[in-house]
Amino acid sequence: QVQLVESGGGSVQAGGSLRLSCVASGYTYGPNVMGWYRQAPGAEREGVATIDRDRSTAYTDSVKGRFTISKVNAESTLYLQMNSLKPEDTAMYSCAAHYLGPATISPLTAVAGWRYWGQGTQVTVS
């Protein structure tokens, strides 16, 4: 049973930084893609960043230059370093793993295409 457990959320002032972590367990083979999504109150879930087995990354435009996604395979851990945080970054951030497709759609935009999800960690920027 694959489990994803996020941590690192919290409250921070605008301009501050946070680092989110997602620890994956239960995998026999590593996931093809992992990613971070977020959902603000009253809004749809949106992709923030993804990283694949070759460590190729993708970011939504609003976080480019501010957020960095990375992973440490030996630790089975996914990270999201968030700098220069803005109030509009306030949301529940969730980790996702193993993209099922369709291959014609970027994992960053295909919310329904993921096999596993974590419970989320709240980020509040004031």
If you average pLDDT over residues 14-35, what whole number do you get? Answer: 91
Kindly provide the residue ranges of all beta strands, DSSP E only, lying in the chain, ordered along the sequence. Answer: 3-7, 10-12, 18-25, 33-39, 46-52, 57-59, 67-72, 77-82, 91-99, 114-117, 121-125
**What's the confidence (pLDDT) of residue 71?**
93
pLDDT 10s digits, 15-24: 999 999 999 9
How many C-beta neighbours within 10 Å does residue 33 have?
20
